[in-house]
Each structure stands twice: as C-alpha cells, then as structure tokens.
C-alpha cells in the first residue's frame, strides 16, 4: 500500500486529494495536511472585501467532506520536511509518506515593502481572513463618505488579475452607494503597461484594460516601485525602461490594497538547507517537466508554490501568475505520474501550463486565454462582456459545490470553455 501525502488544501491540494483517491482507490492511502480546517475559495476574496459575499458563502469545513471520501486529514502546520526519511513533521507528529505533494501556496512577502499589509497600513485580499478584515474596513470607509483609494500590485508580484478585479469591483460598489465621485482611484503596478498581467500581455489585454480604466476614471502609474505605504500615502518611484527613477509619487489614499510579492513558505524554503536543488532563492519549488523534484523523485509540487521564471524581462520585476486552469493541468499530471510510479513505471504526463483566466469587474468581466503561457502562442485571446461577469459567478458556485461533494469533474478547463463558448480555441 502506498501512502500519498499532500501539504495544502486549497485550489491545488484539495482537488489533488480527491483525484488521487479516486484514481488509486482503497488499496492506497491519501492524507491531507492543512493549517486551516476550512476550504476557502480564494478567487471570491475581492467580492468578500466589499461585502458582496460572507465568509460562510465561500468557505466550508474540510473534515466531513474528506472523511466521506476516506481521505485522512491532519489539521496543523507542517513544520519540517525530512525528504531523506520520507517524513513530514506536524509539530511533534511524524507523518510517513511514500509520495509527497507540495501544494502549500505562497508566503505573502508584505515585509519587503515598509508599511505594506494588514499589519501595516493596507488591506489584503490574498486570504479569506484578510478579505474579511478588509470588508469591515471598507464598510467604515464608505460610511464615512469615502476618499482617495490606492490599489494595485508591488514589485515582484505575480498575480495581477485580482488587483484589476478589485479596482473595478470597488468602482462598481461605490457607484451603487452613490459616492464614486468622492473616491478618486489610482492603480499602481509594477507592470510595464496596463494589461501586461505578468504574461507579456494576452491578446489585446492592454487596449481592453486601458479602455476599461478610462471609462471608470481610474488613473494609473506603471513601472512602479512602491517604496513605502503609510496611513495616508503610497510612495512610489516610477522608472523608465532602463530601470532609472524618472519620477516619484506620493499617492494620497484613505483605503489601500496592494498585492505583495510571493515567496515560498518557510517549511518548504528550508529544504535548501538539505539540498540547493529543492528550491530557488525565493523558496519556490524547483520541478522538472513532470512537476517532480529534480532531487527526490517521490516529491511533486502543484500550484502557486512552484518556480516559474518571468515570461520576459521588465524594468520592474514582475512574476508569472499561476492560474486555476494551469493548476488543474498540474494536478492531473501529478495524479497520473504517481499512479504510474506506483505501478513501477516512469512518469510520462506533462502539464499543459496554458493560461486561462476570468476576471470579474463588478458589472462586467473579461476573459484571457494564452496557449501556451509563454509567447509565441498558438492561441492568444481577450474578450470583455457581461457574460464573463456571469461566468465568474457561476464558476464560483460550480467549484465550491464540487469541492464540497468531492467531485473534480467536469474539469475547470471544460467548464470555462463551455461557459465562454470558445470550444474553437482548444487547438492542439
């Protein structure tokens, strides 16, 4: 009997656990280690942060769902990984494994910018707990009549989509409240242009998002290095194409949300002390074509914690996003690769790493398709419309329901293509 252990139970770890158990059956054991007793649907955090969702709407308890599928659950922090002993420590508890899958998500590097984050002077939508606090602060901000807003992503950030979503969602909510005219919004981003998205642009994402911001009267600063965040300003160095500072900005704000850079979580980053080949200098997991560690063949990784180089060089550092569609392809590949290894075969499944994203804008939405993720691409496509807004809402219900029932089919890929009516884009 093989024992497969996955650390993490979010949009990578939980679907993996369900798929792995379904594939292996009762002849093998699957265990989930999670530092959170609940599953939280992270893509809904921008809605939670303006009060359009409650925490209960987008969260549920893991234990009864996993128990129903005969999947073990350990609630606690994985404090140490011992790859040479095939063990994970959860406090004093020793968890032995035959195969280990790292789906930890990222460490939020708020400390890299002075004053950034919930412990400083800005709110966050990176976790559901953060978004819940942001919602309370948003309610107070609006009740007091609003004021200037700063939103965006700092240098080194890699997940730009939620920043665009949140800017537009705030705009929509303020209009509903009748105080948009009291709330100038400035979008601050490390990207070299609006719509870069860490992907070098997708279709006409530049024109689409610039047009959207103009219509919504959202100003922007690009090539931005955020030097500090205070209670009433975001301080920015704007650079040119050579990375030289050409202008400094003191952006007035009374409500700030800036996405931070990501790093590997501490427990994973410490693997560098055993062998430098496990992780890169930021603590992200190094993998081969099969999502497999180049150091230990029985360790795999899926999700935001994997190391992916930037798509291109930019004046200010921009990371590469890992979308839900990409993560699904990673999960599927790892499930089949472990299945093959248990059967005594070599892993053969390589994930597609195509990028597909639906971004909500409050009253409309946009979809972006990049196949493959890194240019030049076979397919590059961007489209805006109310259908995208409705598709994001429907997908939220679809995904949460599937995670509650332990059903990972139909897949993210099939659902998104069906909802958007873009079957024709599935070219091999």
Listing DSSP states for 258-307 in one string gives EEPPEEE-HHHHGGGGT-TTSB-TTSPBP--TTSB-SS-TTEEE-STTB-
Listing DSSP states for 123-162 in one string gives B--SSHHHHHHHHHHHHHHHHTT---EEEEE-TT----HH
Cα separation of 319 and 337, whole Å? 27
Q: How many CA within 13 A on the CB side of residue 322? A: 22
Tell me which H or E stretch contains 393.
Answer: helix 386-405
Task: Verify whether residue 159 is a known catalytic residue.
Answer: yes
Torsion of CA 270, 274, 279, 285, to 10 degrees: -80
Give bridge partners of residue 34 from the DSSP assignment: 75
For tokens 């559901």, what's the residue? 128
Tokens of 19: 């798929």
Give bridge partners of residue 225 from the DSSP assignment: 237
Beta strands in 314-364 (DSSP E): 355-360
At 34, is the secondary structure helix, strand, or coil? strand
Task: Return the biggest CA–CA distance within the chain.
Answer: 65
Contact assessment for residue 259 and residue 126, using Cβ atoms and an 8 Å cutoff: yes
Alpha helices in 189-258 (DSSP H): 205-215
Catalytic residue (choose from 126, 159, 183, 318): 159
Q: How many CA within 13 A on the CB side of residue 242? A: 3
- CA distances for 28 relative to 70, 72, 345, angstroms: 10, 12, 17
Closest of 42, 24, 32, 161 to residue 106, by C-alpha: 42
For tokens 């329901």, what's the residue? 401
Task: Verify whether residue 357 is a known catalytic residue.
Answer: yes
Catalytic residue (choose from 126, 142, 183, 357): 357
Determine how many CB atoms are found less than 10 A away from the CB of residue 109.
18
Positions marked catalytic: 159, 357
């Amino acid at each position: 009997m093989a024992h497969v252990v996955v650390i993490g139970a979010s949009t990578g770890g939980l679907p993996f656990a369900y798929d792995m158990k379904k594939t292996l059956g009762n002849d093998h054991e699957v265990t989930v280690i999670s530092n959170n007793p609940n599953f939280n649907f992270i893509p809904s955090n921008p809605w939670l942060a303006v009060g359009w969702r409650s925490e209960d709407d987008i969260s549920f308890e893991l234990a009864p769902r996993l128990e129903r599928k005969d999947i073990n659950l350990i609630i606690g922090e994985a404090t140490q990984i011992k790859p040479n002993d095939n063990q994970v420590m959860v406090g004093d508890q020793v968890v032995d494994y035959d195969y280990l899958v790292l789906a930890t998500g990222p460490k939020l590097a708020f400390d890299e910018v002075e004053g950034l984050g919930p412990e400083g002077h800005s709110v966050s939508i990176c976790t559901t707990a953060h978004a819940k606090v942001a919602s309370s602060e948003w309610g107070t901000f609006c009740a007091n009549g609003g004021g200037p807003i700063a939103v965006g992503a700092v240098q080194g950030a890699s997940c730009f989509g939620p920043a665009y979503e949140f800017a537009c969602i705030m705009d929509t909510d303020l209009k509903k409240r009748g105080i948009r005219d009291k709330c100038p919004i400035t979008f601050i981003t490390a990207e070299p242009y609006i719509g870069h998205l860490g992907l070098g642009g997708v279709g006409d994402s530049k024109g689409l998002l610039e047009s959207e911001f103009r219509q919504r009267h959202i100003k922007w600063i690009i090539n931005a290095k955020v030097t500090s965040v205070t209670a009433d300003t975001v301080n920015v160095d704007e650079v040119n194409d050579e990375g030289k500072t050409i202008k400094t900005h003191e952006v007035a704000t009374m409500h700030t949300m800036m996405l931070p850079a990501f790093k590997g979580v501490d427990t994973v980053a410490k693997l560098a002390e055993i062998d430098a080949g496990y992780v890169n200098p930021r603590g992200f997991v190094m993998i081969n074509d099969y999502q497999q560690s180049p150091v230990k063949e029985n360790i795999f990784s899926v999700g935001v914690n994997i190391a992916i180089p930037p798509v291109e060089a930019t004046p200010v550092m921009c990371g590469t996003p890992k979308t839900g569609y990409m993560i699904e392809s990673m999960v599927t590949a790892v499930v089949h690769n472990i299945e093959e290894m248990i059967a005594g075969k070599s892993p053969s499944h390589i994930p597609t790493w195509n990028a597909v994203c639906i971004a909500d804008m409050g009253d409309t939405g946009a979809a972006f398709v990049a196949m493959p993720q890194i240019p030049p691409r076979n397919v590059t496509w961007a489209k805006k419309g109310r259908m995208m807004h409705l598709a994001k809402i429907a997908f939220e219900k679809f995904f949460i329901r599937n995670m509650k029932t332990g059903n990972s089919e139909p897949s993210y890929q099939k659902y998104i293509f069906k909802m958007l009516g873009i079957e024709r884009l599935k070219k091999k």
